[in-house]
Chains A and B, each alone.
Chain A
Amino acid sequence: MTDKQLDHSDLDALVLRELSSLPSLAPSRGFQDRVMARVSLPKPAAVVLLQRAGAWALQPRRALALATAYAACVVATVLLAGPWAAAHAGFVVLGASWVAGHVGAWLDTTALAVASWGVRSGVVEALRSAAGSGARLWATVATVAIGYAASGYGLHILLKAPRRSDELARTL
Protein backbone atom coordinates (compact mmCIF):
# COMPACT_ATOMS: atom_id res chain seq x y z
CA MET A 1 0.00 0.00 0.00
CA THR A 2 1.50 3.35 -1.03
CA ASP A 3 1.63 6.46 1.16
CA LYS A 4 -0.89 8.15 -1.09
CA GLN A 5 -3.35 5.24 -0.80
CA LEU A 6 -2.89 5.22 2.94
CA ASP A 7 -3.59 8.94 3.04
CA HIS A 8 -6.76 8.47 1.04
CA SER A 9 -8.07 5.66 3.20
CA ASP A 10 -7.18 7.61 6.34
CA LEU A 11 -8.98 10.65 5.00
CA ASP A 12 -11.97 8.54 4.00
CA ALA A 13 -12.17 7.12 7.49
CA LEU A 14 -11.84 10.63 8.89
CA VAL A 15 -14.69 11.88 6.67
CA LEU A 16 -16.94 9.04 7.79
CA ARG A 17 -16.00 9.54 11.43
CA GLU A 18 -16.62 13.27 11.24
CA LEU A 19 -19.94 12.79 9.44
CA SER A 20 -21.24 10.27 11.94
CA SER A 21 -20.22 12.50 14.85
CA LEU A 22 -22.20 15.49 13.57
CA PRO A 23 -24.72 16.51 16.24
CA SER A 24 -28.46 16.36 15.71
CA LEU A 25 -29.66 19.97 15.75
CA ALA A 26 -32.84 21.05 17.47
CA PRO A 27 -35.18 23.88 16.51
CA SER A 28 -35.87 26.58 19.09
CA ARG A 29 -38.16 26.08 22.07
CA GLY A 30 -41.87 26.12 21.25
CA PHE A 31 -41.38 24.77 17.72
CA GLN A 32 -43.94 21.99 18.25
CA ASP A 33 -46.55 24.43 19.56
CA ARG A 34 -46.00 26.81 16.64
CA VAL A 35 -46.52 23.95 14.20
CA MET A 36 -49.56 22.59 16.04
CA ALA A 37 -51.15 26.06 16.03
CA ARG A 38 -51.21 25.84 12.22
CA VAL A 39 -52.41 22.26 11.95
CA SER A 40 -56.12 21.50 11.74
CA LEU A 41 -56.97 18.24 13.47
CA PRO A 42 -59.52 16.08 11.69
CA LYS A 43 -62.99 16.12 13.26
CA PRO A 44 -65.16 13.03 13.78
CA ALA A 45 -67.19 12.12 10.68
CA ALA A 46 -70.53 12.88 12.39
CA VAL A 47 -69.41 16.42 13.30
CA VAL A 48 -68.14 17.04 9.77
CA LEU A 49 -71.43 15.77 8.33
CA LEU A 50 -73.45 17.97 10.68
CA GLN A 51 -71.33 21.03 9.89
CA ARG A 52 -71.64 20.42 6.15
CA ALA A 53 -75.40 19.98 6.46
CA GLY A 54 -75.57 23.17 8.54
CA ALA A 55 -73.48 25.14 6.06
CA TRP A 56 -75.58 23.79 3.18
CA ALA A 57 -78.87 24.61 4.86
CA LEU A 58 -77.80 28.09 5.99
CA GLN A 59 -77.32 29.46 2.49
CA PRO A 60 -80.12 32.06 2.01
CA ARG A 61 -81.94 30.39 -0.91
CA ARG A 62 -81.75 26.93 0.60
CA ALA A 63 -82.77 28.24 4.04
CA LEU A 64 -85.82 29.88 2.43
CA ALA A 65 -86.67 26.67 0.56
CA LEU A 66 -86.32 24.60 3.75
CA ALA A 67 -88.45 27.03 5.77
CA THR A 68 -91.12 26.96 3.05
CA ALA A 69 -91.05 23.16 2.96
CA TYR A 70 -91.31 23.04 6.75
CA ALA A 71 -94.29 25.44 6.76
CA ALA A 72 -95.95 23.45 3.98
CA CYS A 73 -95.51 20.24 6.02
CA VAL A 74 -97.07 21.88 9.10
CA VAL A 75 -100.01 23.27 7.09
CA ALA A 76 -100.55 19.91 5.38
CA THR A 77 -100.46 18.09 8.72
CA VAL A 78 -102.97 20.49 10.26
CA LEU A 79 -105.21 20.25 7.19
CA LEU A 80 -105.16 16.47 7.36
CA ALA A 81 -105.30 16.17 11.15
CA GLY A 82 -108.17 18.70 11.60
CA PRO A 83 -110.86 16.79 9.65
CA TRP A 84 -109.61 13.50 11.07
CA ALA A 85 -109.87 14.81 14.68
CA ALA A 86 -113.37 16.18 13.91
CA ALA A 87 -114.43 12.80 12.56
CA HIS A 88 -112.98 10.96 15.59
CA ALA A 89 -113.82 13.50 18.32
CA GLY A 90 -114.68 10.85 20.91
CA PHE A 91 -111.40 9.06 20.44
CA VAL A 92 -109.42 12.31 20.62
CA VAL A 93 -111.17 13.41 23.84
CA LEU A 94 -110.53 10.00 25.41
CA GLY A 95 -106.84 10.10 24.45
CA ALA A 96 -106.43 13.68 25.70
CA SER A 97 -108.04 12.93 29.05
CA TRP A 98 -105.87 9.83 29.43
CA VAL A 99 -102.69 11.88 28.79
CA ALA A 100 -103.91 14.71 31.06
CA GLY A 101 -104.67 12.21 33.84
CA HIS A 102 -101.22 10.65 33.63
CA VAL A 103 -99.39 13.98 33.46
CA GLY A 104 -101.46 15.37 36.34
CA ALA A 105 -100.72 12.29 38.47
CA TRP A 106 -97.03 12.59 37.76
CA LEU A 107 -97.05 16.31 38.65
CA ASP A 108 -98.89 15.56 41.93
CA THR A 109 -96.39 12.86 42.89
CA THR A 110 -93.40 15.07 42.06
CA ALA A 111 -94.77 18.07 43.97
CA LEU A 112 -95.47 15.88 47.01
CA ALA A 113 -91.98 14.39 46.87
CA VAL A 114 -90.35 17.84 46.64
CA ALA A 115 -92.47 19.19 49.50
CA SER A 116 -91.77 16.27 51.81
CA TRP A 117 -88.04 16.51 51.02
CA GLY A 118 -88.15 20.24 51.80
CA VAL A 119 -89.77 19.60 55.17
CA ARG A 120 -87.48 16.67 56.08
CA SER A 121 -84.22 18.38 55.07
CA GLY A 122 -85.03 21.61 56.90
CA VAL A 123 -84.94 23.78 53.78
CA VAL A 124 -88.45 25.05 54.45
CA GLU A 125 -87.50 25.95 58.02
CA ALA A 126 -84.38 27.77 56.83
CA LEU A 127 -86.40 29.74 54.27
CA ARG A 128 -88.97 30.66 56.89
CA SER A 129 -86.31 31.92 59.31
CA ALA A 130 -84.57 33.85 56.49
CA ALA A 131 -87.86 35.47 55.57
CA GLY A 132 -88.34 36.35 59.27
CA SER A 133 -85.12 38.40 59.42
CA GLY A 134 -85.19 41.40 57.09
CA ALA A 135 -81.39 41.87 56.88
CA ARG A 136 -80.83 38.21 56.02
CA LEU A 137 -83.50 38.30 53.37
CA TRP A 138 -81.93 41.34 51.72
CA ALA A 139 -78.48 39.71 51.87
CA THR A 140 -79.84 36.59 50.17
CA VAL A 141 -81.62 38.63 47.50
CA ALA A 142 -78.47 40.71 46.89
CA THR A 143 -76.28 37.57 46.61
CA VAL A 144 -78.66 35.96 44.15
CA ALA A 145 -78.88 39.17 42.12
CA ILE A 146 -75.06 39.56 41.98
CA GLY A 147 -74.63 35.92 41.08
CA TYR A 148 -77.20 36.25 38.34
CA ALA A 149 -75.53 39.38 36.92
CA ALA A 150 -72.07 37.75 37.08
CA SER A 151 -73.36 34.66 35.27
CA GLY A 152 -74.89 36.85 32.58
CA TYR A 153 -71.66 38.79 32.15
CA GLY A 154 -69.63 35.55 32.03
CA LEU A 155 -71.92 34.14 29.37
CA HIS A 156 -71.59 37.35 27.38
CA ILE A 157 -67.76 37.15 27.50
CA LEU A 158 -67.83 33.44 26.59
CA LEU A 159 -69.98 34.04 23.55
CA LYS A 160 -68.01 37.10 22.48
CA ALA A 161 -64.45 35.61 22.68
CA PRO A 162 -63.34 34.06 19.36
CA ARG A 163 -62.43 30.41 19.71
CA ARG A 164 -59.79 28.49 17.80
CA SER A 165 -62.31 26.06 16.36
CA ASP A 166 -64.27 29.01 14.94
CA GLU A 167 -61.14 30.39 13.29
CA LEU A 168 -60.35 26.99 11.80
CA ALA A 169 -63.91 26.61 10.55
CA ARG A 170 -63.64 30.00 8.89
CA THR A 171 -60.39 29.06 7.14
CA LEU A 172 -61.81 25.79 5.76
Chain B
Amino acid sequence: MSTAKDLQSLGDREIVELAKAGKEAAYRELLRRYERPVFSLVYRMVRDRTLAEDLAQETFVKVLNALESYRPEYKFSSWIFKIANNAAIDQLRRRELDTLSLDGSPDARTADEVEATALQAADHGESPLEELESRETGSAIERAIGRLRPEYRTCILLRHVEGRSYEEIAEVMDLPLGTVKTYIHRARLELREYLADLRT
Protein backbone atom coordinates (compact mmCIF):
# COMPACT_ATOMS: atom_id res chain seq x y z
CA MET B 1 0.00 0.00 0.00
CA SER B 2 1.34 3.45 -0.93
CA THR B 3 2.17 5.77 1.94
CA ALA B 4 1.83 9.55 1.75
CA LYS B 5 5.61 9.79 1.34
CA ASP B 6 5.59 7.34 -1.59
CA LEU B 7 2.85 9.36 -3.24
CA GLN B 8 4.87 12.57 -2.97
CA SER B 9 7.47 11.13 -5.32
CA LEU B 10 4.93 10.30 -8.02
CA GLY B 11 3.79 12.52 -10.86
CA ASP B 12 0.27 13.92 -11.16
CA ARG B 13 -0.76 11.34 -13.76
CA GLU B 14 0.24 8.39 -11.56
CA ILE B 15 -1.55 9.94 -8.60
CA VAL B 16 -4.69 10.38 -10.69
CA GLU B 17 -4.52 6.70 -11.72
CA LEU B 18 -4.28 5.68 -8.05
CA ALA B 19 -7.19 7.98 -7.21
CA LYS B 20 -9.25 6.40 -9.99
CA ALA B 21 -8.56 3.04 -8.35
CA GLY B 22 -10.25 4.40 -5.22
CA LYS B 23 -7.25 5.28 -3.02
CA GLU B 24 -8.24 8.10 -0.69
CA ALA B 25 -4.57 8.92 0.01
CA ALA B 26 -4.17 9.79 -3.68
CA TYR B 27 -7.10 12.22 -3.50
CA ARG B 28 -5.53 13.86 -0.46
CA GLU B 29 -2.17 14.11 -2.22
CA LEU B 30 -3.79 15.96 -5.14
CA LEU B 31 -5.46 18.27 -2.63
CA ARG B 32 -2.18 18.82 -0.80
CA ARG B 33 -0.40 19.67 -4.05
CA TYR B 34 -2.96 22.08 -5.43
CA GLU B 35 -4.86 23.61 -2.50
CA ARG B 36 -2.43 26.52 -2.18
CA PRO B 37 -1.92 27.30 -5.90
CA VAL B 38 -5.66 27.05 -6.62
CA PHE B 39 -6.68 29.05 -3.56
CA SER B 40 -4.02 31.70 -4.21
CA LEU B 41 -5.17 32.13 -7.81
CA VAL B 42 -8.85 32.32 -6.93
CA TYR B 43 -8.30 34.62 -3.95
CA ARG B 44 -6.22 37.04 -6.00
CA MET B 45 -8.91 36.97 -8.68
CA VAL B 46 -11.97 37.59 -6.49
CA ARG B 47 -10.22 39.31 -3.55
CA ASP B 48 -12.60 37.90 -0.96
CA ARG B 49 -11.39 35.12 1.35
CA THR B 50 -14.75 33.44 2.06
CA LEU B 51 -15.77 33.51 -1.57
CA ALA B 52 -12.35 32.25 -2.64
CA GLU B 53 -12.64 29.30 -0.23
CA ASP B 54 -16.06 28.44 -1.62
CA LEU B 55 -14.85 28.65 -5.21
CA ALA B 56 -11.69 26.65 -4.47
CA GLN B 57 -13.80 24.03 -2.72
CA GLU B 58 -16.21 23.85 -5.68
CA THR B 59 -13.24 23.51 -8.02
CA PHE B 60 -11.78 20.56 -6.11
CA VAL B 61 -15.14 18.83 -5.68
CA LYS B 62 -15.82 19.18 -9.40
CA VAL B 63 -12.35 17.94 -10.39
CA LEU B 64 -12.12 15.07 -7.91
CA ASN B 65 -15.61 13.81 -8.70
CA ALA B 66 -14.83 13.88 -12.43
CA LEU B 67 -11.43 12.17 -12.40
CA GLU B 68 -12.84 9.44 -14.65
CA SER B 69 -13.23 12.00 -17.42
CA TYR B 70 -9.66 13.33 -17.03
CA ARG B 71 -7.66 12.85 -20.22
CA PRO B 72 -4.01 12.08 -19.45
CA GLU B 73 -2.75 13.81 -22.61
CA TYR B 74 -3.46 17.11 -20.81
CA LYS B 75 -1.59 18.28 -17.74
CA PHE B 76 -3.60 17.82 -14.56
CA SER B 77 -2.49 21.26 -13.38
CA SER B 78 -3.89 22.85 -16.58
CA TRP B 79 -7.21 21.12 -16.00
CA ILE B 80 -7.59 22.20 -12.38
CA PHE B 81 -6.41 25.77 -13.06
CA LYS B 82 -8.86 26.01 -15.96
CA ILE B 83 -11.78 25.01 -13.76
CA ALA B 84 -10.65 27.33 -10.95
CA ASN B 85 -10.17 30.23 -13.35
CA ASN B 86 -13.57 29.67 -14.99
CA ALA B 87 -15.20 29.64 -11.55
CA ALA B 88 -13.48 32.89 -10.61
CA ILE B 89 -14.30 34.59 -13.94
CA ASP B 90 -17.97 33.51 -13.68
CA GLN B 91 -18.08 34.96 -10.18
CA LEU B 92 -16.56 38.25 -11.35
CA ARG B 93 -19.07 38.46 -14.22
CA ARG B 94 -21.95 37.83 -11.83
CA ARG B 95 -20.60 40.52 -9.52
CA GLU B 96 -20.29 42.88 -12.47
CA LEU B 97 -23.93 42.23 -13.44
CA ASP B 98 -25.01 42.83 -9.85
CA THR B 99 -23.27 46.18 -9.73
CA LEU B 100 -24.37 47.33 -13.21
CA SER B 101 -28.11 47.67 -12.59
CA LEU B 102 -28.84 51.02 -14.28
CA ASP B 103 -32.58 51.11 -13.65
CA GLY B 104 -32.67 49.91 -10.09
CA SER B 105 -33.99 46.65 -8.75
CA PRO B 106 -37.05 45.24 -10.56
CA ASP B 107 -38.48 44.56 -7.10
CA ALA B 108 -38.30 48.24 -6.10
CA ARG B 109 -41.80 49.71 -5.63
CA THR B 110 -41.25 53.31 -4.58
CA ALA B 111 -39.12 56.03 -6.19
CA ASP B 112 -36.81 55.97 -3.18
CA GLU B 113 -36.26 52.23 -3.56
CA VAL B 114 -35.56 52.63 -7.26
CA GLU B 115 -33.07 55.40 -6.53
CA ALA B 116 -31.46 53.43 -3.75
CA THR B 117 -30.99 50.31 -5.88
CA ALA B 118 -30.02 52.01 -9.14
CA LEU B 119 -26.34 52.47 -9.91
CA GLN B 120 -24.98 54.56 -12.71
CA ALA B 121 -22.04 52.27 -13.33
CA ALA B 122 -19.93 49.78 -11.47
CA ASP B 123 -17.40 51.41 -9.24
CA HIS B 124 -14.12 49.69 -9.86
CA GLY B 125 -12.53 51.22 -6.79
CA GLU B 126 -12.05 48.99 -3.79
CA SER B 127 -14.73 48.67 -1.15
CA PRO B 128 -13.66 49.08 2.52
CA LEU B 129 -13.68 45.28 2.91
CA GLU B 130 -11.63 44.84 -0.23
CA GLU B 131 -9.22 47.43 1.04
CA LEU B 132 -8.88 45.58 4.32
CA GLU B 133 -8.27 42.29 2.53
CA SER B 134 -5.85 43.96 0.18
CA ARG B 135 -3.94 45.21 3.20
CA GLU B 136 -4.07 41.71 4.68
CA THR B 137 -2.47 40.19 1.63
CA GLY B 138 -0.04 42.97 1.63
CA SER B 139 1.66 45.06 -0.78
CA ALA B 140 1.24 47.58 -3.55
CA ILE B 141 1.69 44.83 -6.10
CA GLU B 142 -1.37 43.02 -4.71
CA ARG B 143 -3.42 46.18 -5.14
CA ALA B 144 -2.04 46.70 -8.59
CA ILE B 145 -2.92 43.12 -9.60
CA GLY B 146 -6.43 43.72 -8.29
CA ARG B 147 -6.85 46.59 -10.76
CA LEU B 148 -5.94 44.54 -13.82
CA ARG B 149 -8.54 43.13 -16.19
CA PRO B 150 -9.47 39.58 -15.04
CA GLU B 151 -7.84 37.89 -18.05
CA TYR B 152 -4.61 39.88 -17.55
CA ARG B 153 -4.76 38.99 -13.87
CA THR B 154 -5.03 35.25 -14.59
CA CYS B 155 -2.15 35.38 -17.08
CA ILE B 156 0.19 37.33 -14.83
CA LEU B 157 -0.59 35.22 -11.75
CA LEU B 158 -0.12 31.92 -13.56
CA ARG B 159 3.08 33.09 -15.21
CA HIS B 160 4.87 35.02 -12.50
CA VAL B 161 3.38 33.68 -9.25
CA GLU B 162 2.70 30.03 -10.13
CA GLY B 163 5.56 29.82 -12.63
CA ARG B 164 3.50 28.16 -15.40
CA SER B 165 4.69 28.10 -19.01
CA TYR B 166 3.09 30.25 -21.73
CA GLU B 167 1.82 27.05 -23.38
CA GLU B 168 0.11 25.88 -20.21
CA ILE B 169 -1.47 29.30 -19.65
CA ALA B 170 -2.78 29.19 -23.23
CA GLU B 171 -4.28 25.77 -22.47
CA VAL B 172 -5.81 26.98 -19.20
CA MET B 173 -7.36 30.05 -20.80
CA ASP B 174 -8.26 28.54 -24.19
CA LEU B 175 -6.35 31.32 -25.91
CA PRO B 176 -3.72 31.34 -28.68
CA LEU B 177 -0.13 31.46 -27.46
CA GLY B 178 0.42 34.89 -29.04
CA THR B 179 -2.57 36.35 -27.18
CA VAL B 180 -1.24 35.04 -23.88
CA LYS B 181 2.14 36.66 -24.51
CA THR B 182 0.43 39.93 -25.44
CA TYR B 183 -1.73 39.82 -22.29
CA ILE B 184 1.29 39.21 -20.08
CA HIS B 185 3.21 42.00 -21.76
CA ARG B 186 0.33 44.46 -21.35
CA ALA B 187 -0.30 43.36 -17.79
CA ARG B 188 3.32 44.01 -16.90
CA LEU B 189 3.12 47.43 -18.54
CA GLU B 190 0.03 48.28 -16.49
CA LEU B 191 1.61 47.01 -13.28
CA ARG B 192 4.68 49.12 -14.03
CA GLU B 193 2.48 52.18 -14.47
CA TYR B 194 0.57 51.53 -11.23
CA LEU B 195 3.79 51.08 -9.31
CA ALA B 196 5.30 54.18 -10.94
CA ASP B 197 2.23 56.19 -9.88
CA LEU B 198 2.62 54.94 -6.34
CA ARG B 199 6.28 55.93 -6.24
CA THR B 200 5.63 59.50 -7.41
**Interface set of A (CB-CB < 8 Å, partner B):** 7-8, 11-12, 14-16, 18-20, 22-28, 31-32, 34-36, 38-44
Among candidates A11, A34, A42, residue contacting B22 with C-beta atoms closer than 8 Å: A42
Select A8's contact among B32, B37, B40, B192, beta carbons within 8 Å: B192
* Apart from A18-B195, A22-B161, 8 more pairs, CB < 8 Å: A7-B196, A26-B35, A26-B36, A26-B39, A27-B56, A31-B31, A36-B24, A36-B28
Q: Which residues of B contact A11 (CB under 8 A)?
A: 192, 195-196
* B4-30 Cβ-contact flags toward A at 8 Å (1 or 0): 000000000000000011101001100
Binding site for A on B (CB under 8 A): 20-22, 24, 27-28, 31-32, 35-37, 39-40, 43-44, 52-53, 56-57, 60-61, 64-65, 67-68, 137-142, 156, 160-161, 188, 191-192, 195-196
Query: CA of A53 to CA of B160 in the docked complex: distance in angstroms?
Result: 52
* B32 and A32 form a contact (CB under 8 A): yes
Task: Determine if A31 and B64 form an interchain contact, defined as CB atoms under 8 angstroms apart.
Answer: no
B53 proximity list for chain A (CB < 8 A): 27-28, 31
Q: Please give, as numbers and ranges, the residues of chain B lying within 8 Å of A28 by CB-CB distance.
A: 53
A14 to B31, CA, bound (A): 33
Cα A89 to Cα B64 with chains together (Å): 65
B61:A35 contact, CB within 8 angstroms:
yes
Chain B residues, CB < 8 A from A44: 22
Q: Would A36 and B35 count as touching, CB distance under 8 A?
A: no
**By the criterion CB–CB under 8 Å, are A15 and B65 in contact?**
no
A39 and B64 in contact (CB under 8 A), knowing A26-B39, A31-B57?
yes
**A14 near B195: Cβ-Cβ < 8 Å:** yes
CA distance A31 to B64 in the complex (A): 14
CA A36 – CA B25 in complex, angstroms? 11
CB-CB under 8 A from A20, the residues of chain B are 160-161
CA distance A77 to B140 in the complex (A): 86
Q: Are B56 and A32 closer than 8 Å at their CB atoms? A: no
Q: Is the CB of B192 within 8 A of A12?
A: yes
Taking CB atoms, residues of chain A closer than 8 Å to B37 are 24
Closest 3 CB pairs of A and B: A19-B160, A18-B141, A25-B40
Quick one: closest B residue to A24, CB to CB? B36
17 contacts between A and B (CB under 8 A): A11-B196, A15-B191, A15-B195, A20-B161, A24-B37, A24-B40, A27-B35, A27-B36, A27-B56, A31-B35, A31-B39, A34-B57, A35-B57, A38-B65, A41-B22, A41-B24, A42-B67
Task: Provide the residues of chain B in CB contact with A25, threshold 8 Å.
Answer: 36, 39-40, 43-44, 137
Measured in the bound complex, the distance between the Cα atoms of B32 and A8 in whole Å is 39
CA separation between A72 and B7, bound complex, in Å?
Answer: 55
Q: Report the nearest B residue to A27, measured CB to CB.
A: B39
Report the bound CA distance from A35 to B195 in whole Å: 38
CB–CB B156/A35 < 8 A? no
Return A138 CB to nearest CB of chain B, in Å. 50
Contact yes or no, A19 B60, CB < 8 A: no
Question: Within the complex, what minimum Cβ distance (angstroms) separates B23 from chain A?
Answer: 8
| Least Cβ–Cβ distance between A11 and chain B, in angstroms | 4
Contacts of B21 in A (CB 8 A): 42
Output the nearest chain A residue to B188 by Cβ-Cβ distance. Answer: A15
Which residues of A lie under 8 Å from residue B60 when comparing CB positions? 35, 39
| Residues of B with C-beta under 8 A to A32 | 28, 31-32, 35
